[in-house]
Chains A and B, each alone.
Chain A
């Protein structure tokens, strides 16, 4: 057993890979551990404590920012997924037609532009509109988030549609189902897991956004990430660790859900 030649083995690769995995998780683990650190200073260990979680919970600014994040995330996720579903239906299962590649490029465009550029562009554009209409609500943030969430919702829906050939829809039409009924009774149920996946993806992406939100927001419109950015710039409080931990748990929960859902379907 000892010296069997393995075709797949490359020297050092496993070591590097292992190192990578450790390095990837190490900082996060440290962060989570320190969230429970009773000591104020982050270099000494003062025993386990939940006090930073409590103080974060009592921090109005934190709660307000969190709610705002969730609101924007929910609306942007639903909008972008609905719109992405329609776009996916329009761009799959068809022989190429004029404009198809354009649509493709356009839908994926937000992925190709660095966030700083989009942030600046929206800052300029929306400031013009603000002057014009006087509206300074959450609408701008929601619009911006919806836009960059679209390609993320689009991806899993498109992937799923590509595996569904048109035969089932034809069978439904053959059995007297109108196009709308076919969509509702055949296409949609089969597409639903992918739509949910897109929804979750879009939600996480929206929650996570820092740069675009930072540039587009007006004063007092902090989301959780922009609030944290502000705090970090001013100095480090362990409260940030606590907030980060909760945020982390949320993201991990959603991704795990997503992962198990896709595994179940296999």
Chain B
């Protein structure tokens, strides 16, 4: 089928492969290759083409490089996933550049870029975190989902899933691209079907069975003793200045209650905050120009 278009969306000018930890990752670039690098990281179950609306604005001043995280978009699937491995992937990309970079992450990618900057201050100039400040103290939960179980119960459930999940489990197939867009809209009701159609086209492939998502179903499956109380203190080591952005409107995945967010951000040594008006969690999709203006005012000031 003809690739869908969306007003303002600009495809990457260059796409290349990058090997990290034995996996081939997909990097997408916009802008002058000689300009200062600005590295982007998308959210959970998203992919780099989600920056097609924001990146063209940023490319006026930067070499914009969006990473498809392992298991996402056009990057390889791993056998299993751990946060620390994603951090190392970003570190490898940053080390491949000839100068320290600006980092920008959305949602899970915001947390990832923040943790990366805290570990590798020498590789980072400035940091922008777009509503990626971690789950609330009780963890992310879908509406109606039961309260957290004990660690042994959680592990038993994880082990049951491991026994069932074989190597070649087929992804669920959707009859049409519109079905995929509708499916995603249930999680992100603020986003238009027109955008989600564009976004899902690049995050899915058409097979004989129908449309299947590229994202690895194993990527979101984790269990262990990690504690949300560790998030804020982990940012004390940040040396790069951080711009923390949220949307003005309450959305499915954010923003956090202000008292939780303020408590975590109190650990950041050099902090600015911003709010994108008339936008929810996906401020760079709902209000790409406003978001870009905020970012371009902040970066390299």
Do A and B form a real pair?
A: no
